[in-house]
Amino acid sequence: MNIFLKLCFMIVSVCFIASADSGSVCGKEGSACCSLKKVNPPEPLYPVSSPQQLRWHQQEIGMFCHFGINTFHNEEWTDGTKPAESFNPTDFNPQQWADVAKKAGMGYLIVTAKHHDGFVLYPTHHTDYCVRFSPWQNGQGDVIKGVAEACQKAGVHFGFYLSPWDRHEPRYNDNKAYDEYFMKLLRELLTNYGPVFEVWFDGAGTEGHVYDWEGYYKLIKELQPDALIAICGPDIRWVGNEDGLAPETVWNVQERNGKKVWYPAECDVPIRRGQWFYHTDGEKRLLSLNQLLKIYYHSVGRGAVLLLNVSPDRSGHLPEPDVNRLLEWRSVLDETFKINLAEKASWEASNVRGNSPEYSPEMCLKENDNNYWATDNDVQSGYVILRFDKPVIFDRVVIKEQIALGQRIEEHSVWVKNKNGQWERVSSATTIGYKRIHCIPEQKTKEIKVQIDKSLACPTLDFIGIYNSSPRDLKVQKKK
């Protein structure tokens, strides 16, 4: 063996023994040493999300579209007696729905296939109360097909709402017969329209009725294994209100049927106050830009997903004022989150897992990847500091956990170094989860600290972003 090879062998062996002993690395990325001595990632804190749930978190916002017989009666709930003939959109345009959803930054679209009134929006042969008996497209139309195809084209995931409660169907009084009927509809929806992202089972009106939930879930998982079942289902929970607002603390891990599971929250809210369906006189209820921004910061900004309802009108289009408001909202958010000041920072952390560059705080520059900041196993609090050459002005801080490894952080805070060189706390909050956005009064500083005050296990951070919000965005006043 020549001397060079011998030397290499010795270095590699020493590093190998050291890593086996302590789990740490020499810290030189790209060296022979490092390629041998990857530091083990933190153990996941179970339960964790499924890959499908993780993909759902990443969408952040979805569009809900309530469309059906109610649209033609200015009512939110009809009782199942309105004639099928009354369903007659004059210019059904699902591509507009899906394109608007895409432009508004929404990753999925959920359409009502059947609301509580029982009217079915695709031409099923299991009931006469459906589009086949409407004059629309001479009874040949299929709303679900139109929407599913439009979603595919726009690059938006497709999902459907199917109300278990049915005020029309006579079989509803016979649990078994109704389950059979309901499963036939489900089977059609799950087989005929391509990939399904989310199935939305509304709980309204279902009290006291016994459904074969397990049978429904089994069928969904069999026909569309990637579909998530929301609300009355095991994959996504209802946040608990119809205002689009998550509470301050949002844990994804919840107890369901006596078991701890990953059960994330979805915040549903209509863009016209209190109206899920289109009403001819509903425009005055359109939420203001500020109300929509507040909803965003209190749903997505608290680690939940927002499902915002925009209802198509009687022509089959999303109304223009609603679309304009939605796009205005999007443009403000885009403006706010366009420039991440953190990209100019130099980073420091109180602890880096195994001293390895694989877990350094700089890993928080890019989101939704496999790189993240992590600490050693026995460290359950700590901080990341961002330093700038010149003072930066900002009023938004975005923080994300590496939730693929479970949700860990219980309390955290944001600090700035003030003119006197002292750390000043400018915001504190509890959970982070997929995302937490701090909206704070404008700050000017050369140093920002994100502190993890309490964590269930060694913390992980996927991302830290620092932004200065658009002049059109919400402003937080400094407390006097």
Distance between CA atoms of residues 319 and 317, nearest Å: 6
Q: How far apart are the C-alpha atoms of 423 and 200, rounded to whole Å?
A: 47
Closest approach of ligand FUL to the CB of residue 231, in Å: 8
Angle ∠(301,52,250) on CA atoms, nearest 5: 30
Q: What is the size of the binding site for ligand FUL (CB under 6 A)? A: 5
Continuous H helices in 268-421: 289-299, 320-336
Judging by DSSP bridges, how do beta strands 436-455 and 409-417 pair with one another? antiparallel
Query: Closer CB to ligand FUL, residue 204 or residue 393?
Result: 204
Smaller CB distance to ligand FUL: residue 241 or 346?
Answer: 241
Q: Which is nearer to ligand FUL, 60 or 242 (CB)?
A: 242
Burial call 337-371: b when 16+ CB within 10 Å, e when fewer: beebbbeebebbbebbbbebbbbbbbbbbebeeeb
Our CB check for ligand FUL shows the closer of 230 and 363 to be 230
**Cβ of residue 264: shortest distance to ligand FUL, in angstroms?**
18
Shortest spacing between CB 194 and ligand FUL, in angstroms: 23
Residue 271 CB, shortest distance to ligand FUL, in Å, is 13
Nearer to ligand FUL, 13 or 280 (CB): 280
Minimum distance, C-beta of residue 266 to ligand FUL, in the bound complex (Å): 10
Q: How far is the CB of 138 from ligand FUL (least distance, A)?
A: 29
Q: Are the C-beta atoms of residues 451 and 415 closer than 8 Å to each other?
A: yes
Measured from the CB of residue 353, what is the shortest distance to ligand FUL in angstroms?
A: 43
268 binds ligand FUL (CB under 6 A): yes
Nearer to ligand FUL, 193 or 276 (CB): 276
**Tokens in use for 1?**
């063996």
- The answer for residues whose C-beta is within 8 angstroms of residue 2's C-beta and 6 or more apart is none
- Give the single-character DSSP code of 473: S
- The rounded distance, in Å, linking the Cα atoms of 129 and 147 is 20
Q: Answer yes or no whether residue 79 interacts with ligand FUL by CB under 6 A.
A: no
Quickly list H helices, 155-191. 175-191
Nearer to ligand FUL, 81 or 249 (CB): 81
Selected binder of ligand FUL within 17, 204, 210, 393 (CB under 6 A): 204
**Minimum distance between the CB of residue 357 and ligand FUL, rounded to whole angstroms?**
47
Structure tokens at 35: 């390629």
Write phi, then psi, for 371 (nearest 5 degrees).
-100, 135
Subset of residues 371 to 430 that bind ligand FUL, contact rule: CB under 6 A:
none
Judged by CB under 6 A, the residue of 60, 76, 226, 411 near ligand FUL is: 76
Nearer to ligand FUL, 76 or 424 (CB): 76
Burial 136-168 (b: 16+ CB within 10 A, else e): beeeebbbbbbbbbbbeebebbbbbbbbbbbbb
Question: What is the pattern of x (binds ligand FUL, CB under 6 A) and - over residues 23-62?
Answer: ----------------------------------------
Q: Give the end-to-end CA distance of the chain in Å, rounded to a whole number.
A: 75
Residue pair 396/438 in contact (Cβ under 8 Å)? The answer is: yes
Nearer to ligand FUL, 276 or 329 (CB): 276
What single letter denotes the amino acid at residue 333? L
Establish if 278 lies at the interface with ligand FUL (CB under 6 A): no
Least Å distance between CB 183 and ligand FUL? 21
Closest distance between ligand FUL and the C-beta of residue 136, in Å? 21
> With respect to ligand FUL, which residue has the nearer C-beta, 80 or 361?
80
Q: Which of 108, 122, 193, 276 binds ligand FUL (CB under 6 A)?
A: 276
Q: Which residue is nearest to ligand FUL (CB)?
A: 204
When the beta carbons of 76 and 149 are compared against ligand FUL, the nearer one is 76
Number of H helices, E strands in the chain: 9, 18
C-alpha span between 398 and 439 (Å, rounded): 9
With CB under 6 A as the contact rule, the residue among 117, 179, 202, 410 that binds ligand FUL is 202
- What does the binding site for ligand FUL look like in residue numbers (CB under 6 A)? 76, 202, 204, 268, 276
